[in-house]
Amino acid sequence: MRIVHPMTKCGSAAMTMRNYRPGIARRIPVLAMGLCAAITGVSAIPASADPLSALRWKSRVLVLVAQNPGDAELRTQRAYLEQASSGMFERNVVLMEAVGDSERARELRKRLATDVSDFRVMLVGKDGNTAFASDAPLAARDIFGRIDQMPMRKEEIRKTGG
């Protein structure tokens, strides 16, 4: 006898009675919906709500957060990064800023769960998770050193041979 849950329209979550376990059966709809969302790109959170969603699995995102464009630490961080554009390109790093009180800045700060009271530099990995954050400007070599220690970056270096 086969047991098929009616909510699994995206794939087969069939089980035989021989390996039926009630605990697993209750989770099948949730797992199936998650799998369907992953395959089709449909999720409960609209992509527009996440300003970083278009870059996931493509680029790392370095986000600079500051209260105003004249922030001294923001200017310092920008200067560090201007001199390191080739390193950022090599590591697939996109620079974004959440400065001031624009709607885009608010959305980005909300996505990163940070406020605007102080300067902050944050790296979001290709997987969409925050890899590290600092309350002080970081030299490009420090940022690149941290990126180069990440497993995905190590794999990129291995594949390209350098």
> Residue 24 has what pLDDT?
42
**Assigned domain for 45 exists:** no
What Cα–Cα distance (Å) separates residue 130 from each residue in 16, 18, 52, 78, 123? 41, 43, 11, 20, 6
pLDDT score at 50: 86
**58 and 129 fall within a common domain:** yes
Q: Residue 128: give its domain's CATH number.
A: 3.40.30.10
Tell me: do 29 and 101 sit in the same domain: no
54 and 74 co-located in one domain: yes
Residue 85 lies in a domain: yes
Answer yes or no: are the C-beta atoms of 50 and 111 closer than 8 Å: yes
First to last CA, the chain: 55
**27 and 101 inside one domain:** no
Residuewise pLDDT in 10s, the chain (162 residues): 333 333 333 443 343 344 444 444 444 443 343 433 444 444 334 445 688 999 999 999 999 999 999 999 999 999 999 999 999 999 999 999 999 999 999 999 999 999 877 899 999 999 999 999 999 999 999 999 999 999 999 999 999 886
CA angle at residue 67 from 65 to 71, to 5 degrees? 90
**Rg for the chain, CA atoms, rounded:** 21
Residue 14 lies in a domain: yes
Same domain, 119 and 80: yes
pLDDT on residue 49: 67
Tally of domains within the chain: 2
In a domain, 88, yes or no: yes
Tokens representing 130? 């925050």
Residue 89 belongs to what domain range? 50-160
At residue 107, the pLDDT reads 94
Q: Are residues 54 and 14 in the same domain?
A: no
pLDDT at 45: 41
Do 31 and 108 fall within a single domain? no
